[in-house]
Amino acid sequence: MATATEKTFYLETFGCQMNAHDSEKVIGTLRQEGYRQVETEDEAGLILYNTCSIRDKAEQKVFHRLNDYKALHKAGKRFGVLGCVAQQEGEKIFERAPYVSLVSGSASYRKLPEMLSRLEAGETRITGLDDRQTDETFETEFTARQNPYRGYITIIEGCDKFCSYCVVPFTRGKERSRTSTSVLEEAKRIADLGYTEIQLLGQNVNSYRDPEGKCSFAELLVRVGQVPGIRRVRFTTSHPRDFTRDIVEAIDAHPTLCDHVHLPVQSGSARVLKAMAREYTPEWYLERIAWVKSAKRSISLSTDIIVGFPGETDDDFIQTMDLLAQVQYDCVFAFKYSARPNTPALVMIDSIPDVEKSKRLQALLDRQREIQRPNYSKHIGEVMEVMVEVQNPARGQISTRSSQNKTVNVTWAQPIAPAPGSYMRVRITASHPNSLIGEVV
Ligand code: 5AD
Ligand code: SF4
């Protein structure tokens, strides 16, 4: 139970891995400012939501959540909205939810200590809305790592690509990379904490440009993989425009770099890609895929797709389906187009009815399931190294991950399971379209 003078906070995170890691940094900052993290809203003096606005549904979830907890304001609690909805809606949040005292986008988190002091002094309309002006990155040595098996490092913040559907360039500010020196220092700190897996993060992680000019993105991958103690390096999300062949060569030459590339294509139609301002054609994209497929290692591929973009015809959609068959991804994240504030696509008529979007989404997911089925069953009989992520001995299984980023559920009969982050060798005994089943060898 919190005492009257104790500063406590509850933080809930919505959205992507960038947000999950931002929250780790925010938690570290709050602790440094003397706050203690608690598990429930009831126990907390300060309630924070780190929000996502990538699609309308994500944004609505935040406002519903704020509404649910309105009554807590009367109990003297303070509210803060962080992240993408905060940046997007700005001061309008104070009108919609007058009990909110703090609104801050991710580009302003470095000012959190100052904003917290103002909050403690009783101010009720505190904003950190840097928009696209700031060149600064948010780096802190106090990151409170919440993920027990994976250490995240943001290497590049913001986005300058302005794909016509995407809100990120408006919510996360302009593109800015950290120095490779500071990235490598953080990688060493992560290894010292006992982590063996690092995931490099950025909206367009491979657009990374070292401000010190010491290394390219591919070289940075290699150097992070050479940090003593590090056994697995992942990175997300890559943009096809900046995907270079040396990334594939680096993965081929360095087994610590995981054999998996997430390369969002969004659509298989040249016409739709043009309207999306993706600045590549399907052929150009498929050339990058051919590089990945020509590697000596078997590199797994995954992607993001948007269905029902304004003006997407049946024929455009069929081209996306054909691209799935051609590439043979191991995992696809597919979304119905959602019109977002400020984005260039907002002027295009969101012409596809929701039922049609749903129909296309379902058809795509069904097709992808059938593509994955034989590709997962190919692993049966194989012995591979996996890392434990979630222990669930009660269900007789533990959830692990392969270097290729495939989920491998390992049969486990003993009462005590190996800790998250430990490695084991397993033989694959069965497969599902989205996961593998294995037993310890
Ligand atoms: N509508 C639907 N999906 C979107 N994404 C980004 N913006 C939108 C939008 N307005 C998807 C893209 C991106 C992923 C993170 O979210 O596929 O790669
Ligand atoms: Fe959502 Fe994009 Fe913000 Fe991540 S960066 S939380 S995906 S809007």
Instruction: Give the CATH number, domain containing residue 14.
Output: 3.40.50.12160
- Nearest ligand for residue 338 CA: 1
Around ligand 2, the residues with Cβ closer than 6 Å are: 15-16, 18-19, 52-54, 83-84, 167-168, 171-172
Is the pLDDT confidence value at 78 over 90? yes
Q: 283 pLDDT exceeds 60? A: yes
Q: What ranges in 166-253 are assigned the alpha helix state H?
A: 168-171, 180-192, 217-225, 245-253
> How close is the Cα of 302 to the center of ligand 1, in Å?
15
The conformation of residue 204, written as its DSSP 8-state character, comes to T
Query: Which residue puts its alpha carbon closest to atom 13 of ligand 1?
Result: 304
Which of 53, 162, 166, when mutated, tests ligand 1's pocket best, judged by the most ligand atoms within 8 Å of its CB? 166
Report the pocket of ligand 1 as residue ranges, CB < 6 Å: 54-55, 165-166, 264, 266, 304, 306, 335, 337-338, 340
- Is residue 143 in some structural domain? no
Could you say which DSSP state residue 73 is in? G
Atom nearest to 340 CA in ligand 1: 10
* In a domain? residue 390: yes
How many Å lie between the centroid of ligand 2 and the Cα of residue 53?
6
Q: Separation of 58 CA from ligand 2 center, angstroms?
A: 9
Closest to 330 measured CA to CA, from 371, 285, 366, 298: 371
Crossing angle for the helix pair 217-225 and 180-192, nearest 10 degrees?
20
124 and 169, same structural domain? no
**CATH of residue 388:** 2.40.50.140
How would residue 66 be classed by pLDDT, with cut points 50, 70 and 90?
A: confident
Identify whether residues 211 and 196 lie together within a single domain.
yes
305/187 same-domain check: yes
**Beta carbons of 327 and 289 less than 8 angstroms apart:** yes
Judge if 362 and 236 occupy the same domain.
Answer: yes
Q: What's the 404 CA to ligand 2 centre distance in angstroms? A: 24
Locus of tokens 């591979």: 384
CA of residue 281 to ligand 1 center, whole Å = 18
Residue 16 CA, closest ligand 1 atom number:
15
The last residue of one of the domains, among 377, 407, 427, is 377
Do 235 and 332 have their domain in common? yes
Probe target for ligand 1 pocket from 18, 165, 312, with the most ligand atoms within 8 Å of CB? 165
397-402 and 435-440 as β-strands: parallel, antiparallel, unpaired?
unpaired
Q: How far is the C-alpha of 138 from the C-alpha of 158, rounded, in Å?
A: 11
Measured CA to CA, the distance from residue 428 to residue 39 in angstroms comes to 38
Measured by CA distance, the residue closest to atom 1 of ligand 2 is: 52
Domain membership flag for residue 2: no
Nearest to 184 by CA among 216, 144, 161, 155: 155
Does residue 262 have a pLDDT over 70?
yes
Q: Whose Cα sits closest to atom 5 in ligand 2?
A: 168
- pTM for the complete prediction? 0.95
Same-domain status, 321 and 368: yes
Instruction: Say what the pLDDT of residue 49 is.
Output: 96
Max intra-chain CA distance, the chain = 64
147-179 pLDDT, tens per residue?
Answer: 999 999 999 999 999 999 999 999 999 999 999
pLDDT band at 2 (very low <50, low <70, confident <90, very high): low
How far is ligand 2, taken at its centre, from the CA of residue 181, in Å? 27
| Whole-number pLDDT of residue 131 | 75
> Given a cut of 70, is residue 271 above it in pLDDT?
yes
Domain ends where: 329, 353, 377? 377
Asked whether 54 and 41 are in contact (CB, 8 A), the reply is no
317 and 403, same structural domain? no
Q: 97 phi and psi, to 5 degrees?
A: -135, 80
Please list the helix, strand and coil fractions of the chain in percent, rounded to the nearest 5, in that order.
35, 25, 40
Report the number of distinct structural domains present in the chain: 3
CA of 54 to the centre of ligand 1 (A): 6
Is residue 246 domain-resident?
Answer: yes
Q: How far apart are the first and last CA of the chain?
A: 46
What average pLDDT score do residues 59-73 get?
85
Residue 170 sits in the same domain as residue 297 = yes
Q: At what angle do helices 17-32 and 112-120 cross, to 10 degrees?
A: 60
Tokens of 361: 């989404």
Residue nearest to atom 2 of ligand 2 (CA): 54
CATH number of the structural domain spanning residue 288: 3.80.30.20
In the predicted model, is pLDDT for residue 417 greater than 90? no
Same domain, 92 and 209: no
Mean pLDDT to the nearest integer, 299-309: 98
CB 372 within 8 A of CB 434: yes
- Alpha helix locations (H) across 173-281? 180-192, 217-225, 245-253, 270-275
What letter would DSSP give residue 423? E
One domain for residues 340 and 254: yes
The total of other beta-carbon atoms located within 10 Å of residue 350's CB is 16
Number of C-beta neighbours around residue 123 at 10 A: 12
Residues 259 and 405 in one domain: no
| Domain end call among 113, 128, 143 | 128
Residue 401 lies in a domain: yes
Q: In this structure, what are the phi and psi dihedrals at residue 233, rounded to the nearest 5 degrees?
A: -120, 125
β pairing state of 176-177 and 156-157: antiparallel
Burial class of 122 by CB neighbour count within 10 A (0 to 12, 13 to 18, 19+): exposed
> Residue 213: inside a domain, yes or no?
yes
Domain contains 141: no
CA pair distance 276, 287, nearest whole angstrom? 20
- Among 14, 49, 54, say which to mutate for ligand 2: greatest number of ligand atoms within 8 Å of CB: 54
Residues 286, 364: one domain?
A: yes
- CA atoms of 271 and 308, how far apart (whole Å): 13
Contact 61, 176 (CB under 8 A): no
Q: Which atom of ligand 1 is nearest to the CA of 345?
A: 10
- Residue range of the domain that includes 403: 383-440
Q: Which two tokens stand for residue 356?
A: 């049609």
Residue 135 resides in a domain: no
Q: Which atom of ligand 1 is nearest to the CA of 333?
A: 17
Average pLDDT, the chain: 95
